[in-house]
Amino acid sequence: MQEVLGYAEKNRERFQADLFEWLGMASVSTDPAFASEVRRAADWLVTRMQNLGLKTRLVTTRKHPIVIAETEPVPGTPVVLVYGHYDVQPPDPLNEWTTPPFQPAVRDGKVFARGATDDKGQMLTHLFGTEAWLRTVGKLPVQIKFLIEGEEECGSHSLHELLRGEYDNGTSIVESLANDIVVISDSSQYGAGQPAITYGLRGIAYYELRLTGPSQDLHSGGFGGAVTNPANTLCRILGQLLDDEGRVTLPGFYDAVVDLTKEERKQFADLGFDDAAFMKSVGVSGMQGEAGYSTLERRWARPTCDINGLWSGYQGEGAKTVLPARAGAKFSFRLVPNQNPQQISESLTEWLQERIPPGITMELIDRHGAVGSMVPLDSPFMAAAGAAIQSGFGTAPVFIRSGGSIPVVNEFASRLGSDTLLLGWGQDDDNMHSPNEKFSLDDFQRGILSSAHLWSEIGKMKIR
């Protein structure tokens, strides 16, 4: 390990230079205007992998390519699949960036650029951790496979198609991705100087509700009180989704919810979360949520309902007294493991239909859903990751859950039968999806060291 770690330290500046070069490619997947930059970023990654001697292929899809690579098999030891993405979010609004989003700039030991932490910087740590082994020892203690996509920021449609076998062309790509554990670094540490392993994710059920009343907007004085108002109806219905205790009112919504254990609640409490500091960081003077639970418990491990967008009627300057013809909302439920998005959809549809008054027609669009996931804390892969992170960061990780959803984790579980290690090197304030996205260069290096250690720790595990 000393030779491997020495290589990583010796090449620190070169690793950073490679990262900066990659960050300079505007691989915005959702906007067709950036298609050539997306392809350039994929080709850049393919070249780096081929130069390391990895068996590499670029899978052409209906949209953006997927990069697949692997090291040599190591019989008797686990196979690791590293997943990541090379596409990035649009940089807008550009006027809020201190420096241009695709011209990496270093300030206070951090690199500022779109994709710095989400996910180019974090993903590269595993490629460079692999390089440190190959350039010194000449081989790895485990086989590493890489699956790096270019559409994570716009739905991962091509990846889902690939995992369904749509790009096999006579050879099974899914079979070639067989593994014992998936590793993803596309999240955050618990806090500055406190690395973490995320062992649980919430799922999601996302909807758009459209209500239609009269054939056109009407004068609210002449028709109000006689014609059912879609905006009034929308507000009344949405207001009934949560009760005064912060609980979702859909029948059966909590039937499958597994309560937090005493051990988990103590574990969260021991993290020393500061409600006052959290409120200050998000700019609020108070908080609200499901009664009987702490802020971390609500954010990480309890189901929730949130309105994500509203529209109806006149929204220009001044006044216009209309009874709007249409109203709509986008809203979502964050789900905990065992809750089923399909069952939520069925319950929601029935619940809404019971509340639609005469004169209003309803359209409910099920945008997408994903189940939550959990990795057992007593997994040997958890122990290996904990030891690797402690070696790389100099601090033992804490075990946390996340309120967000990563649908591909469930896809890996269902298609490949794999659990996932979520090892985040970023920070909550890294401005993912926002202007001035950043990534600590010290954490970038610590991630590389932790990755190199992880291959060693997993290599100690034996399988038949």
Looking at the DSSP bridge assignments, the partners of residue 401 are 200
Residue 244: Cβ within 10 Å count: 6
Angle at 190 between CA 189 and CA 192, to 5 degrees: 75
Secondary structure element (H or E) that encloses residue 257, with its range: none
Position 368 scores a pLDDT of 86
Strand, helix or coil for residue 325: coil
Looking at the DSSP bridge assignments, the partners of residue 440 are 110
- Give the integer Cα–Cα distance in Å for 366 and 227: 28
Position 131 scores a pLDDT of 98
User: Rounded to an integer, what is the distance from CA 154 to the centroid of its chain?
Assistant: 12
- Give the integer Cα–Cα distance in Å for 97 and 233: 41
pLDDT > 90: what percent of the chain?
Answer: 91
Position 57 scores a pLDDT of 96
pLDDT by 10s per residue, the chain, length 464: 999 999 999 999 999 999 999 999 999 999 999 999 999 999 999 999 999 999 999 999 999 999 999 999 999 999 999 999 999 999 999 999 999 999 999 999 999 999 999 999 999 999 999 999 999 999 999 999 999 999 999 989 999 999 999 999 878 999 999 999 999 999 999 999 999 999 999 999 999 999 999 999 999 999 999 999 999 999 999 999 999 999 999 999 999 999 999 999 999 999 999 999 999 988 999 999 999 999 999 999 999 999 999 999 999 999 999 999 999 999 999 999 899 999 999 999 999 999 999 999 999 999 988 889 888 889 999 999 999 999 999 999 999 999 888 878 989 999 999 999 999 999 989 999 899 999 999 999 999 999 999 999 999 998 86
Q: Which structure tokens are listed for 352?
A: 């809404």
pTM of the predicted protein model: 0.86
Angle at 204 between CA 91 and CA 304, to 5 degrees: 105
